Amino acid sequence: MRRIYLDNNATTPLAPEVFEAMKPYLIDEGFGNASSIHWYGQRAKAALEEARESVARLINAQASEIVFTSGGTESDNTALFGVVAAAAADSHGADRPAHLITTTIEHHAVLYAAQALEARGVRVTYVPVGSSGVVDPGDIERAITPETALISVMHSNNELGSIQPVEEISRIAREHGIVFHTDAVQSAGKIPIDVKKLGVHLLSLSAHKLYGPKGVGALYIRKGTSLRPLMYGGHHERDRRPGTENVSGIVGFGRAAELAIQGLCDESHRIAALRGRLEEGILQQVSDATVHCSRSPRLPNTSSIRFDHVEGEGFVIAADLLGLACSTGAACSSGSLEPSHVLSAIGMSKEQARSTIRFSLGRHNTEDDIHQAVEIIPQVVERLRSLSPHYKKEAVSL
Amino acid sequence: MTIAVAMSGGVDSSTAAAILAEKSRSEQAGGEPRIVGLTMQLWNQRRLPALQGLPEGIEPGRASGRCCSLDDVYDARRVASFLGIPYYVVNFERRFEEEVVRPFVEQYLAGETPIPCSRCNTEIKFEQFVETARQIGAERIATGHYARIHQDKRTGRYRLLVAVDRSKDQSYFLFGLTQEQLSRAIFPLGKLTKQQVRAIAREKRLPVAEKPESQEICFVPGGSYRGFIAAYLAEQGARMEDRPGELVTTDGRTLGEHHGVQHFTVGQRKGLGVAAGSPLYVIEIDAAKNRVVVGRNEDLFKRRCRVRNVNWIRPVAEGERISACVRIRNKHLPAPATVEALAGAEANIEFAEPQRAITPGQAAVFYDGEEVVGGGWILGAD
């Protein structure tokens, strides 16, 4: 069976060039511990620093501002816990608890970290977003208090693809002297990111969303930003993240970043055109289908579509059995009963949220893929609707 | 044709899947995958923190085997991957709670002795599961139940028959199936003995071939109804109310006080809280009057009972009286009786010989030889 992968926001396949770059650090003499003094250690260290340069270039940062982590989740957690801990250390004796501002559509890595901070006495404001899927910077500004230690707003949403006004929020944060973090895991490699232009203090990245290996990420920490490490151990990563470096993974991340820099412009146009064809094809053939946030700035590859009276779980399985891989939302929340918090946040009812499917395109998708997907999707929708007791009852009775 | 196999992670459903997967391979070599494994996520075991940890007297090894534990899903996934069939977990937690758990709790609190497995079969496994199967393109479903389905070539009707292995027969829990449900179901284990199923699992080297059997009600860890219900009510912001009432004898004498009807079941002997010359048993629970009636062992034997929500698998006209063997609990030996079909899906059962402890909340299932004619829920006996 020919299979089509339209779930690139969950993860992407490793690029062959990335695999080639990693190989010497897995099975060859690149195995050394980057902290060792000898030749082996030096080889690993050199590769590590080269990768750091590459990742820095992807977001226009200084290499010294890049800290490698185990992935997006660790980067987000380090940002939130690290800044709050540093703020608490700076203002010991302050009688009011620290305050954090974030949004209702963040990834769970931010949302649950914020909730954990709440449990420790931090006050958290979750700023809502409207049906556009885009947060209003004015709402962020209005949430600021003298105790606000950190603002964390994602660069683009993983389920909807909506791009957030990070530059503007960052300006507001700077005006109030507040540290600003953005989770750019879903944006990096898909649209240009420039930390200087954005003016952020902290930015999270993950390698496997841009054809790199899983288990590697990075946190950009602007020079001078004060934060505490999440873990304690050796003096790796300039004392900001202990643990022997995942050299092969980091090398892969570096190579993936280079490939992303090279292909970004052409690739995002090509993918945006494919997505246009996908949405057009679906809307032409399927009634009662709605593309979420279609009027908002969106990632070029992401399409969140609601098919009324279609049960998302059944859709994903049925499509998979026909060779089409997509998802109901974030992969992390698959199988859970609660509708996606992101879809609820943009005003979807439980039923509407459960009827929403995310298609996310990637480097390997071709016109043929889209053509075939547009054949499979209406078929699956029709079958599911024919089994739904609620669909078109009125029409039948006419 | 695509068949969706319900996989719980146990040896029975795993072997059922293995049998079908092999058949499908030999029938259409190189074809599309036509057997799909599905695990129903019915209950979140981490949901009631009060029940976390192992209940008293439960060995660590036995604690898995609880429904929908991560271990069971892991096992089912492992078997599917071993068989090379597509596999998915589908979430029915909301429906399961509404259709099975809540009625179970309500019946228990009303002093009945509920069996949630029958409702789970009719409302979840052969209803919601069939619907999901059809959504994904599978017109038929298979389960690891021990029972058989035969289509009558003359009438086209489907008949439900007991399993060849009588000691494993699960037809008692399947009396609620409709013709539509039976037409879609396949029971690959109906013709096999448990020993044969184990042997097949071993021969095929299924990863769960040596997994021990689970006996208890899947969502009640350690078999403690009381503990489960107290924890569930606490979660819902309610409390298990112990409403004390009278403990009376069959001839109306008050013997003492009971601490709530839900703590008793018909036929129970221990824990009555009163001493008497001869052994005392619970004869009847009268929830309306909040009374528990106790008496001698012989008082437990009754000839007649009324059942409600009757499902006739073989059509029986209203007012018609049939001879059948009736089973009043899972391990009960079916006893000869006359069953009279009444209006409103009720029936009267009159046994040839009095039966011990006919218990409200349990099912009465009517057999004609190997065939399940129908069944219903016991209301009361006299």
Q: Which of B136, B139, B141, B180 to mutate to test the interface with A (most CBs of A within 10 A)?
A: B136
Cα dihedral A278, A284, A289, A294 sign? positive
Range 47-76 of A in CB contact (< 8 A) with B = none
| Residue B292: strand, helix, or coil | strand
- For residue A93, name the pLDDT band (cuts at 50, 70, 90): low
- For residue B56, name the pLDDT band (cuts at 50, 70, 90): very low
The percent of residues above 70 in pLDDT, for chain B, comes to 92
Which of B32, B94, B135 is facing A318, going by the closest CB pair?
B135
8 Å CB contact of B131 and A387: yes
Q: What does the CA dihedral B169, B175, B181, B184 come to, rounded to 10 degrees?
A: 20
Q: Which CATH class is domain B3-226?
A: alpha beta
Close Cβ partners of B381 (under 8 Å, ≥ 6 residues apart): B302, B304, B305, B306, B358, B360
What is the identity of the amino acid at B64? S
Q: What does the CA dihedral B179, B172, B366, B4 come to, rounded to 10 degrees?
A: 10
Would you say domain B301-381 falls under CATH 3.50.50.60? Answer: no
* B286 vs B65: CA distance, rounded Å: 35
CA A238, distance to chain mean position in Å, is 26
Range 325-364 of A in CB contact (< 8 A) with B = 335-337
SS3 content of chain B, % helix, strand, coil (to 5): 30, 30, 40
Instruction: Render B3-32 in DSSP notation, one character per residue.
Output: EEEE--SSHHHHHHHHHHHHHHHHHSTT--
| Residue B105: strand, helix, or coil | helix
From chain A, the residues in CB contact with B36 under 8 A are 321
Å from A335 to nearest chain B CA? 6
Residue B95: closest CA among chain A residues belongs to which residue?
Answer: A337
From chain B, the residues in CB contact with A333 under 8 A are none
Q: Which of B28, B96, B135 to mutate to test the interface with A (most CBs of A within 10 A)?
A: B135
- For residue A331, name the pLDDT band (cuts at 50, 70, 90): low
Residue B27 touches chain A, beta carbons under 8 Å? no
Instruction: Render B164-218 in DSSP notation, one character per residue.
Output: SSGGG--GGGGTT--HHHHHHEE-TTTTS-HHHHHHHHHHTT-TTTTPPP--S-T
Is residue A260 within 8 Å of A58, Cβ to Cβ? yes
A224-250 pLDDT per residue, tens: 999 999 999 999 999 999 999 999 999
Residue B296 touches chain A, beta carbons under 8 Å? no
Is residue A184 within 8 Å of A317, Cβ to Cβ? no
- For residue A393, name the pLDDT band (cuts at 50, 70, 90): low
8 Å CB contact of A314 and B94: no
From chain B, the residues in CB contact with A311 under 8 A are 135
Close Cβ partners of A191 (under 8 Å, ≥ 6 residues apart): A156, A163, A264, A268, A299, A300
* B348 vs B337: CA distance, rounded Å: 10
8 Å CB contact of A387 and B134: yes
Does residue A364 have a pLDDT over 80? yes
Question: If you search the block for the tokens 């709790």, which residue do you land on?
Answer: B105
Mean pLDDT of chain B: 89
Averaged pLDDT, A310-335: 84
Higher local confidence (pLDDT), A363 or A392: A363
DSSP character for A319? H
- What ipTM was estimated for this complex? 0.83
Q: Which of A317, A328, A382, A383 to mutate to test the interface with B (most CBs of B within 10 A)?
A: A317
Higher local confidence (pLDDT), B30 or A283: A283
- For A156, A182, A206, B382, the CA distances from A213, given in Å and listed in that order, are 21, 22, 9, 72
Please report, for chain B, the start and end positions of each structural domain, with discontinuous segments joined by +: 3-226, 245-295, 301-381
B246: β partners: B257, B291
Å from B88 to nearest chain A CA? 7
User: What was the pLDDT predicted at B87?
Assistant: 96
| Residue A112: strand, helix, or coil | helix
Question: If you search the block for the tokens 């092969």, which residue do you land on?
Answer: A248
Is residue B161 within 8 Å of B171, Cβ to Cβ? yes
Range 28-47 of B in CB contact (< 8 A) with A = 32-33, 36, 41
Question: Which DSSP helix (H) or strand (E) runs through B111?
Answer: none
The percent of residues above 90 in pLDDT, for chain A, comes to 88
Å from A382 to nearest chain B CA? 10
Which of A1-10, A86-95, A156-165, B32-41 shows the lowest mean pLDDT across its residues? Answer: A86-95
8 Å CB contact of A335 and B131: no
Averaged pLDDT, A200-221: 98
Does residue B49 have a pLDDT over 80? no
Of A213, A241, A246, A221, the closest CA to residue A229 belongs to A241
Q: Which domains does chain A show, CATH number per domain?
A: 4-11+264-389 (3.90.1150.10), 16-259 (3.40.640.10)
Residue B133: closest CA among chain A residues belongs to which residue?
Answer: A314
First-to-last CA distance in chain A? Answer: 41
Is residue B1 within 8 Å of B139, Cβ to Cβ? yes
* B237 vs A9: CA distance, rounded Å: 40
Would you say domain B245-295 falls under CATH 3.40.630.30? Answer: no
- For residue A14, name the pLDDT band (cuts at 50, 70, 90): very high
- For residue B76, name the pLDDT band (cuts at 50, 70, 90): very high
CA B134, distance to chain mean position in Å, is 24
Is residue A7 within 8 Å of A205, Cβ to Cβ? no
Of A198, A163, A183, the closest CA to residue A301 belongs to A163
B132-184 pLDDT per residue, tens: 999 999 999 999 999 999 999 999 999 999 999 999 999 999 999 999 999 99
DSSP character for A339? P
Catalytic residue set of B: 120, 218
DSSP character for B72? H
A296-320 pLDDT per residue, tens: 999 999 999 999 999 999 999 999 9
Residue A309 touches chain B, beta carbons under 8 Å? no
Catalytic residue set of A: 332
Strands B245-249 and B291-295: parallel
User: What was the pLDDT predicted at B28?
Assistant: 64
